[in-house]
Chain A
Amino acid sequence: MRIQLNGEPFEVSDGATITDLLERLELAGRRVAVELNLDIVPRSQHPATPLKEGDRVEVVHAIGGG
């Protein structure tokens, strides 16, 4: 199925959770934050949060800024 990841179309397998997505992005265990359809998904809920067709997912991290 297709989701929108950071503004771009992205294919994930049916039934994939946020944890699965982060593993696929090689971001498992990294310091990132996830927003699903404009709501924050706390880290503790990543394994129990399945993705659906058309979901809009943002994965962010901290970078240099002033």
Chain B
Amino acid sequence: MNPVPADKPFVLAGRTYQSRLLVGTGKYKDMTETREAIEASGAEIVTVAVRRTNIGQNPDEPNLLDVISPDRYTILPNTAGCYDAVEAVRTCRLARELLDGHNLVKLEVLADQKTLFPNVIETLKAAETLIADGFDVMVYTSDDPIIARQLAQMGCIAVMPLAGLIGTGLGICNPYNLRIILEEATVPVLVDAGVGTASDATIAMELGCEAVLMNSAIAHAQQPVMMARAMRHAIEAGRLAYLAGRMPKKLYASASSPMEGLVR
């Protein structure tokens, strides 16, 4: 068997990753399930949220960063829950201090609680401040190709359009916009949000995304650890299919078995 040709490496902020699946740590039943799902996913980059110490942690549970060690994983702190640029920048600076000067952040500035749609105006403002302050910004945004282009031009290291609204699991709602974003991408483009099941992740990768970021699709599956494993395979399958190049679609049939030598 011929070896499969090597893929080009997935590089973010100068570091190379083997896995093209990035996972969140929210919505799990407990720390054990979080750890097992993340291990099964094969992800090397893991998102976390930054919150006040009296919020969101059961005192009997270990600290998240004891379970998901920064020595083993690249921790990607997010600004989820921030509704303006000032809050998002503050959160990133706290995250950098929390992670001993680690500059990689996921910028996410939301506009509305019902849709959790990104506020692109505040996102652009925050990105500008953060880049000037030395952060490596991976930015969550709408699937607007013009905004995606602007965010890349200003120096974001990755642009992460939504495929569907956060937590909906609706899948790739507008593959055509993603195709436009991907066609003119100058930085890695990752789908972030909207994936519901393995086939959605595969479609995102077949479209040519560098990677996919997801949380709910794994954490809210009936069996999160099994779904994490499914996602790992889905991402690999989609990437290989993208590299292999799909056959053209045709309207009429084309026989797979030869017509010669038929028994008549």
Task: Kindly name the residue among A25, A27, A63 whose own CB sees the greatest number of chain B CB atoms within 10 A.
Answer: A63
- Evaluate contact between A40 and B78: CB separation under 8 angstroms: no
Bound Cα distance A58, B90 (Å): 11
- Evaluate contact between A61 and B216: CB separation under 8 angstroms: no
A64 contacts partner chain B, Cβ-Cβ < 8 Å: yes
Count of A interface residues, CB-CB < 8 Å: 23
B144 contacts partner chain A, Cβ-Cβ < 8 Å: no
- Which of B51, B75, B90, B215 is within 8 Å of A63, CB to CB? B51
B115 contacts partner chain A, Cβ-Cβ < 8 Å: no
A48 contacts partner chain B, Cβ-Cβ < 8 Å: no
Bound Cα distance A65, B97 (Å): 18
CB distance from B185 to the nearest CB of A (A): 23
Q: Taking A64-B48, A65-B47 as contacts, is the C-beta distance between A6 and B53 under 8 angstroms?
A: yes
B28 contacts partner chain A, Cβ-Cβ < 8 Å: yes
- Evaluate contact between A65 and B78: CB separation under 8 angstroms: yes
Q: Considering the complex, which residues of chain A in the window 8-28 have a beta carbon less than 8 Å from any beta carbon of chain B?
A: 25, 27
- Evaluate contact between A7 and B24: CB separation under 8 angstroms: no
- Evaluate contact between B98 and A61: CB separation under 8 angstroms: yes
Bound Cα distance A66, B166 (Å): 9
- Evaluate contact between A63 and B94: CB separation under 8 angstroms: no
- Evaluate contact between B63 and A31: CB separation under 8 angstroms: yes
Q: Considering the complex, which residues of chain B in the window 22-55 have a beta carbon less than 8 Å from any beta carbon of chain A?
A: 24-28, 34, 47-55
Q: Taking A33-B98, A40-B93, A42-B97 as contacts, is the C-beta distance between A62 and B52 under 8 angstroms?
A: no
Bound Cα distance A25, B59 (Å): 12
Q: Give chain B's interface residue range (CB within 8 Å of chain A).
A: 35 or more
Q: Taking A43-B97, A66-B166, A66-B216 as contacts, is the C-beta distance between A6 and B54 under 8 angstroms?
A: yes
- Evaluate contact between B51 and A60: CB separation under 8 angstroms: yes
- Evaluate contact between A40 and B48: CB separation under 8 angstroms: no
Q: Taking A63-B64, A64-B24, A64-B25 as contacts, is the C-beta distance between A38 and B90 under 8 angstroms?
A: yes
CB distance from B222 to the nearest CB of A (A): 19
- Evaluate contact between B98 and A27: CB separation under 8 angstroms: no
Bound Cα distance A35, B64 (Å): 20
Bound Cα distance A65, B193 (Å): 13
Bound Cα distance A43, B97 (Å): 8
Residues of chain A within 8 A (CB-CB) of B48 are: 62-65
B56 contacts partner chain A, Cβ-Cβ < 8 Å: yes
Bound Cα distance A60, B47 (Å): 16
Bound Cα distance A49, B52 (Å): 20
CB distance from B63 to the nearest CB of A (A): 6
A-B interface, 4 closest residue pairs, ranked by CB to CB distance from nearest: A65-B49, A66-B24, A66-B215, A33-B97
Q: Give B residues with C-beta under 8 Å from A.
A: 24-28, 34, 47-57, 63-65, 75, 77-78, 80, 90, 93-98, 166, 193, 213-216
- Besides A32-B98, A62-B95, A64-B56, 9 more A-B contacts (Cβ < 8 Å) are A40-B93, A42-B97, A59-B53, A60-B50, A61-B57, A62-B49, A63-B56, A64-B26, A65-B48
